[in-house]
Chains A and B, each alone.
Chain A
Amino acid sequence: MALLETHGLTAFYGDFQALFGVDLVLNEGETVAVIGANGAGKSTLLRSISGLLRNAPGHIRYDNAEIGALSAPDVVRLGIAMVPEGRKLFPSLSVEENLLIGKYGRSVSGTWTLDAIYDLFPVLKERRSSPGTALSGGQQQMVAIGRALMSNPRVLLCDEISLGLAPVVVKDIYAAFPRIRATGASIVIIEQDIGQALKVADRFYCMMEGRVTLSGTPGTVSREDIHAAYFGAHKP
């Protein structure tokens, strides 16, 4: 039974069409990677699900409800939290305040409390009083993930976690994902960096020019097929 599902999802920026009928399924407890080159429409897909881009109601289904037309605050209140591209920490807020604001105006119960986040990313506890934007890129990404987890989401959407980070830092951050999964959260990971994403994903979708060009299970699909779906041409 799909927890989150898009069918025939389209999206537009003015006259420019960014998505041409994307079908994606996320089952309960599953981690799905969406890979693709810059401009493939991956972020647009996440922005549509999270409500940052409004959509026709019928194209996105979550927990047996049509959520395509909902606003971002309504979507996160239903249990879909997003780690936005570029981390987007609030510069006026300290690390701890950035985390606390993840559950603004709601009393959510669940695994993820401030202490649990500090346990997952111990370095944040030392920097809890610093302005969020005074941290290194990797630490900021940890805050952004923690902030989304604070709402104890059923679905966690991660937009380009590895963007602009050193490979060793990316590895550290992805090391936290098994513990996030263990709490039962379903996860969508968007990445250009195929390696890390496919390592933690149960299934993947590859996008190109606003369409899904390939989907499958990591390990059962050859590198050549992924390259073809990713770049649109077979390498010689």
Chain B
Amino acid sequence: MNWADTIIQGVLLGGLYALFAAGLSLVFGIMRLVNLAHGDLIVLAAFLILLLVSTLGLNPFVAAAVALPVMFAIGWVLQYVVLNRTLGDDILPPLLVTFGLSVVIQNGLLEGFSADSRRISAGSLETASIQVGPISIGTMPLLTFLSAVAVIVALNLVFYRTSLGRAFRATSDDSSTAGLMGIRSERIFATATGIAMMVVTIASLYLGTRANFDPTQGPARLIYAFEAVIIGGLGSFWGTLAGGIIMGVAQTVGAAINPEWQILAGHIAFLLVLLVRPRGLFPRAVD
């Protein structure tokens, strides 16, 4: 086993998990909403990109760019019309509703696209790689990782440098006092979910070009996303990236030792972090 190669491939895989997780982290950070349909929304976005690629013949990256505003709108309406009604002191309604949503999306996709596993073709990019000494780095995994870093940087800029970000944080702190400032929290929440769905779209582009996917894959993506968020510490975007990388490295190292251990190693890494740092590695100071 080449350790350097294994670690690097693991870090790059971590970028994908961070992309899965960033949207979840954003939504939870602002409205303490656990979206159990997050993984299914990633798969939904992947099918949307697939549809654009196969019917309009678009390049997958162009298709993803087209899907971004569509998914923002879906997220905005979903939050404004459905999920806002579930928010309150009781944590159960959002869990039940998003769980139901997950079932609906899975079955809707099965109905529309069948259970066949599909793939978005990225052409020659799929097999392209960059040679760094003895290690060969796939172009797509590298793009995935760079996109994850870009998404995390962008989310941090929005969150900490813009007027919208101030409203996000204020609403998260105290939505009733935020109302006194003229902030309509229901719209702030809708915007947050819309942005989360844009991150989901970027994640789905790499999910769909990297490997086969089918309508039932959502829940497994949700688990990875969850674990990345928890490892990183709730509410910290950089923590989410770190959490994704830890998951990715653990899985790749596990697979290098024995292919059967790939998934298990990721979960064990998660449990170990939970054991040592129950609040995650970089929990937000104010909570």
Contacts and interface: CB of A to CB of B under 8 A. Distances in A.
Contacts of A50: 180
A51 B183 CA distance: 13
A211 interface: no
B180 A93 contact: no
Given A77-B182, A91-B286, A101-B183, A52 B176 contact: yes
B176 A92 contact: no
Contact of B174 (A88, A100, A106): A88
A84 B180 contact: yes
B85 interface: no
Interface string B230-264: 00000000000000000000000000000000000
A104 interface: yes
A97 interface: yes
A59 interface: no
Contact of A93 (B169, B176, B183, B184): B169
A147 B177 CA distance: 11
Interface stretch (A27-35, A68-76, A116-124, A168-176): A68-76
A145 to B, nearest CB: 13
A102 B174 contact: no
A12 interface: no
Interface string A131-169: 000000000000000011001000000000000000000
Interface residues of B, number: 18
B170 A93 contact: yes
B132 interface: no
B183 A105 contact: yes
B182 A90 contact: no
A188 interface: no
Interface in A86-119: 88, 90-93, 97, 100-106
Nearest to B163: A104
B182 to A, nearest CB: 5
Interface string B170-197: 1011101111111110000000000000
A82 interface: yes
B167 interface: yes
Contacts of B178: 90, 101
B183 A104 contact: yes
A101 B174 contact: no
Most chain-A CB neighbours within 10 Å: which of B167, B169, B179, B183?
A: B179
Contacts of A93: 166, 169-170, 173
A72 B172 CA distance: 17
A84 B179 CA distance: 11
Most chain-B CB neighbours within 10 Å: which of A73, A76, A92?
A: A92
Interface of A: 50-52, 71-73, 76-77, 81-82, 84, 88, 90-93, 97, 100-106, 147-148, 151
